[in-house]
Amino acid sequence: MNTNSTATYLGALKRFWWVCAVGVVAAVLAAFLMVYSVSLSTGKLSHRTRPTYTASALLLVNSTANPYLRTAVSSPAPPTTSTPAATASTSIFHTAGQQTNRAAATTHAPDTQTLVAAANLFPMLIQSDQITALRTHMFGKLAGTVSAKAIYSFVTPSRFKPSAFPVIQVQANAAGPKAAKKLAQQTTAAFTSWLVANQNASHVPQSERILVQELQAPGHAAVTGRAKKSLPLAIGALVLCAFLGLAILLDRLNPRAAASARPQAAVPA
């Protein structure tokens, strides 16, 4: 673009400045309406796309035996009943009997499959209406949704792959980061309380109870669905360019105004 063309375009924009002014207002309004919507009945503004915040907690399904901290579990030998003949035995046979009993004690691998199976079952309980009602009773009503699954499990409408790890991931979705973290924390607390209460009601011995331990508390809440600034800015720029082009077109359609705006050449004497 040469200097004369630039001067011509600038002159057209200057002569039709009111079209450029309307274009600036229209561009700002278009970009604004890309982000917000206006209710005609109430006159209130609201975001077209509301962001959603997600916070997650990790729970370990464990037992009082701590099977993940050992390589083997020893089972004591069953008690033996002594007969009168055995009582009258010599000390040699009595010592041999003690060695036999000690040899009867066995060791086996820790039972982790029971805990893994519980980790694949507990997410359905965490998402149940019973836990939701208990959480509401304990902490009050909270807006948002909760989902849970055994970590690394795979669920589709036609396929289910259970997890091989006794870890549960609890995710809470809410309109704000604090609400999401609060919902995840209170859901895990309600489920833990429900589990202990049911174990007490069923008189489950302490040594046989399944424990739920928090591995990771809800920390940073990730945001999704936030409106991008680039699209409204691009729409506003396009609207402004359209009005600038309209101003230049109007100037082309009115050559008399353009000619009168040019400086007149001096007439020789």
177-226 confidence digits (pLDDT tens):
899 999 999 999 999 999 999 999 999 999 899 999 999 998 888 877 66
- Full-model pTM: 0.62
Let me know the angle formed at the C-alpha of 46 by 182 and 220, rounded to the nearest 5 degrees.
25
Q: Is 26 left (phi over 0), alpha (psi -120 to 50) or beta?
A: alpha
The DSSP line for 230-246 is: HHHHHHHHHHHHHHHHH
Distance of alpha carbon 66 from alpha carbon 95, whole angstroms: 35
Distance of alpha carbon 204 from alpha carbon 193, whole angstroms: 15
Ranges of each domain in the chain: 3-48+227-261, 52-69+110-224
2-35 confidence digits (pLDDT tens):
666 777 778 888 888 888 888 888 888 888 877 7
Distance of alpha carbon 199 from alpha carbon 62, whole angstroms: 15
Q: Which amino acid is at 265?
A: A
The 10 Å CB-count burial string (b at 16+, else e) for 3-41 is: eeeeebeeebbebbeebbeebeeebeebbeebeeeeeee
> Are 179 and 170 a contacting pair, CB within 8 Å?
no
Neighbours of 196 (CB within 10 A): 14
Let me know the angle formed at the C-alpha of 207 by 134 and 193, rounded to the nearest 5 degrees.
10
The pLDDT confidence band at residue 262, using thresholds 50, 70 and 90, is: low
For the domain 52-69+110-224, what is the CATH code? 3.30.1890
Let me know the angle formed at the C-alpha of 197 by 191 and 202, rounded to the nearest 5 degrees.
125
Please say if the pLDDT value at position 44 is more than 80: no
128-161 confidence digits (pLDDT tens):
999 999 999 999 998 899 999 999 998 777 888 8
